[in-house]
Amino acid sequence: MTITSALNSAMSGLRAASRASELVSSNIANVSTPGYARRTLSVSSSEIGAAGGVRIDGIQRHVDAQVIADRRLAGSEFGYRSATTNYLSRIEDLIGTPDQSGSLSARLADFENSLITAASRPDAAERLDAAAHSARDLAVAVNSVADGIQTARTAADREIGAQVTRLNDALQAVQLLNSQISGADARNADTFALQDQRQVLIDEISEMVPVRMIERDHGAVALYSTGGAILIDGRAAEIGFETSNVVTPYMSIDDGSLSGLTINGFAVNTTSTGGRLQGGTLGAQFEIRDELAPEAQSKIDALARNLVERFEDAAVDPTLSPGDPGLFTDDGAPLDPAAETGLANRLSINALVDPTQSGETRLMRDGLGSVAPGPVGDSTLLNALTTALSDPRVATSGSFGASALSAGDMIASVASQLGSDRLREDQKLSFASTQFYELTQRELAGGVDTDVELQNLMIIEQAYAANARVIETVDQMFDSLLRI
């Protein structure tokens, strides 16, 4: 080996060691940066004529595409299950349990107890007042559950609007990065920082909509939802949605009163089965707004209807004429079977006995249709009202089957169904959480390891020192030659 070739080898080695140390420093500095992928220097031996050395072939960005793809899908499922589980937990809390003072079961028990207490002393005005107040509290409790369901629907609708905005922004950003990466690739420029940014954006998109990424020419990528929608392939798709100010029980996507999704102006299916953008947090909000919440609303409406029917019966209160509202009403009107939707929101007690509306509570003893006070010691009607609550009746609507149930049994059935749904979602959430965590850990295991990077830095320093020693030796040899 000549002195010149030794010097060339040492100089190229110094350049490679310097570049490698820069990469190690960058890896360590960005160990917690989202989307950052570990970089390493790719080198090989170089021989140009009689001179040798180290040739820098390029920089490698280390990612496991399959692990990232699986982690994204697991993250979509985790976000989806988290949203639906949180919704079911909120509705379950609204209904409450029998041991909670404000629950539906507790309000019904209070009303029943107040009727029994009033029947024991029908002449006591304060006991009649207490019974009327308990009836009103029960109606208000049903209203609160129904209003909470619609509040959840409204919140879901607004969240859909916010997510659609973020989704469109992220897709536009990915389109721009695709263009920048392709341009840089054509110039043989470094595109790794741009790829890191794009990975973060695709992670954000996949949380809302589960996607599959497909590599295109010159470093660009295409994104397809697992439901088959093209989100970006060259140009980014435009997702359309119109937010509603308030969602009511009478609004649905089927009648056009609630907005669905469009992709580039074309309407797409948003159901939990067969939806083009199903899964992820966006799909979860559509399922809450259009499926889960309306199903819960129908259960509460059926419960409210059953409550109205029990006390609208002339066999319970003989003073009622056909078409007269009973103790519980549809906002003051008798039950209209064709207008059951939203009944739970409108449920109220008859103004004739409502103390807050200057009603006469003695009508609970004498009958809503009575025009004059009856015998103050007559508890017949109060006993009949108590019996009406506990008598088994087959529900005329809702998913209660053909079994005859008391009012308390119907509330327990609603609570049980929602509790079962929440427990089932909890189990699915637990599995999704475990899967997402394990895949995230696997992805991190292939990322930057500071211990390994520090070891690499020590090796680089040794290589740098060795090459520097060669240059120093060459310098000494030249000095010796010059002194001859």
Do 341 and 464 fall into the same domain?
no
Residue position matching structure tokens 């820069």: 22
Do 55 and 143 fall into the same domain?
no
Phi then psi dihedrals of residue 213, to 5 deg: -100, 135
- Give the per-residue pLDDT at 470: 80
Number of H helices, E strands in the chain: 12, 13
Residue 444 lies in a domain: no
Cα 96 to Cα 90: distance, rounded to the nearest angstrom: 10
Residue 441 lies in a domain: no
| Buried-exposed string 434-469: b where 16+ CB fall within 10 A, e elsewhere | ebbeebeeebeeeebbeeebeebbeebeebbeebee
Cα 446 to Cα 62: distance, rounded to the nearest angstrom: 8
Do 383 and 362 fall into the same domain?
yes
The model's pTM is: 0.88
User: 407 with 395: CB under 8 angstroms?
Assistant: no
CA 305 and chain centroid, separation: 32
Residue 111 lies in a domain: yes
Do 103 and 244 fall into the same domain?
yes
Residue 314 lies in a domain: yes
Residue 337 lies in a domain: yes
Cα 172 to Cα 194: distance, rounded to the nearest angstrom: 14
Q: For residue 155, give the amino acid letter.
A: A
Show Cβ contacts of residue 212 under 8 Å, excluding neighbours closer than 6 positions: 69, 223, 224, 225, 226
Do 398 and 255 fall into the same domain?
yes
Classify residue 370 as left (phi > 0), alpha (psi -120 to 50) or beta.
beta
Do 139 and 20 fall into the same domain?
no
Do 463 and 432 fall into the same domain?
no
| Tokens (6 digits) for 240 | 């359309």
Residue 443 lies in a domain: no
Do 318 and 463 fall into the same domain?
no
User: 111 with 324: CB under 8 angstroms?
Assistant: no
- Domain region containing 263: 69-436
Do 453 and 378 fall into the same domain?
no
- Give the per-residue pLDDT at 108: 94
Cα 137 to Cα 144: distance, rounded to the nearest angstrom: 10
Do 173 and 297 fall into the same domain?
yes
- Give the per-residue pLDDT at 50: 53
Residue 19 lies in a domain: yes
Residue 210 lies in a domain: yes
Do 241 and 371 fall into the same domain?
yes
Cα 43 to Cα 127: distance, rounded to the nearest angstrom: 92
Domain count, the chain: 2
Strand partners, 64: none
- Give the model confidence (pLDDT) of 367-391 as tens digits: 999 988 889 899 999 999 999 999 9
- Give the per-residue pLDDT at 173: 96
Do 420 and 457 fall into the same domain?
no
Tens digits of pLDDT across the chain (484 residues) = 577 777 778 788 888 888 888 888 888 888 888 888 888 888 877 766 555 677 877 888 888 889 999 999 999 999 999 999 999 999 999 999 888 888 999 999 999 999 999 999 999 999 999 999 999 999 999 999 999 999 999 999 999 999 999 999 999 999 999 999 999 988 888 888 999 999 999 999 999 999 999 999 999 999 999 999 999 999 999 999 999 989 999 999 999 999 999 999 999 999 988 889 999 999 999 999 999 999 999 999 999 999 999 999 888 999 998 889 999 999 999 999 999 999 999 999 999 999 889 899 999 999 999 988 889 899 999 999 999 999 998 888 888 888 889 999 999 999 988 889 999 999 999 999 999 999 999 988 888 888 887 888 888 888 888 878 888 787 778 777 777 7
